[in-house]
Amino acid sequence: MIRVVVTGSESTGKTDLARRLADHFDAELVPEFVREFAAAKQGPISFADHGPITRGQVELEERHFAAAARTNNVVIQDTDLLSTVVYCDHYFGECPPWIASLARERRPDLYLLAAIDVPWVADGIRDRGDRREEMQSLFQKAVEDSGVPWVEIAGTWEDRGNVAVDAVATLLQKVER
């Protein structure tokens, strides 16, 4: 299975980019679990919520991995557990070791790090518009430290899509060899 994860700070177009990539490559799309969790909770996420968030993300991924195994074995993810680790560390100063370990075990084949060079859009769940540079630097460090190849996705919406498509196509060509 080939896994590509779109990651980065809030309001960087990750969801739209993941959908575009999934459509382009006829790949299985794994949505972001925590967004629905936060909307259903209707309140701030607590430290204790990170266990259910992690388990929910993993369950969601596994369902989509099974579907991908029946098709072309390519999965595009709108985030993964790396995001859970980054936000847990940021908001609470620590992340449960089991979550960080699970994130390392479930590393993808490629990270696409969406840059913050697009306008911030408030949506009622996002809350770090004034701290985008700080959050993005945390994501970049986490991606770099993961040991997974990564590509920064920046520029106009069209440029972002083109760079992302090229990065995934390059990965798929390497795997086919």
pLDDT of residue 128: 66
Q: Assess whether pLDDT exceeds 80 at residue 120.
A: no
**Cα-trace Rg, the chain:** 15
Parse the chain into domains and list their residue ranges: 2-176
pLDDT of residue 70: 86
Identify the CATH assignment for 2-176 out of 3.40.50.300, 3.40.50.1110, 3.30.300.130, 3.40.640.10: 3.40.50.300
Average pLDDT over residues 112-134: 77
Average pLDDT over residues 94-107: 97
Pair 129, 10: CB distance under 8 Å: yes
115/12 Cα distance (integer angstroms): 6
**Percentage of residues of the chain with pLDDT beyond 90:** 75
What are the C-alpha distances in Å from 89 to residues 82, 92, 166?
11, 5, 32
Q: What is the pTM of this model?
A: 0.92
Please indicate whether residue 134 or residue 176 has the higher confidence score (pLDDT).
134
pLDDT of residue 127: 61
Tokens of 149: 């190849």
165/79 Cα distance (integer angstroms): 17
Average pLDDT over residues 4-30: 95
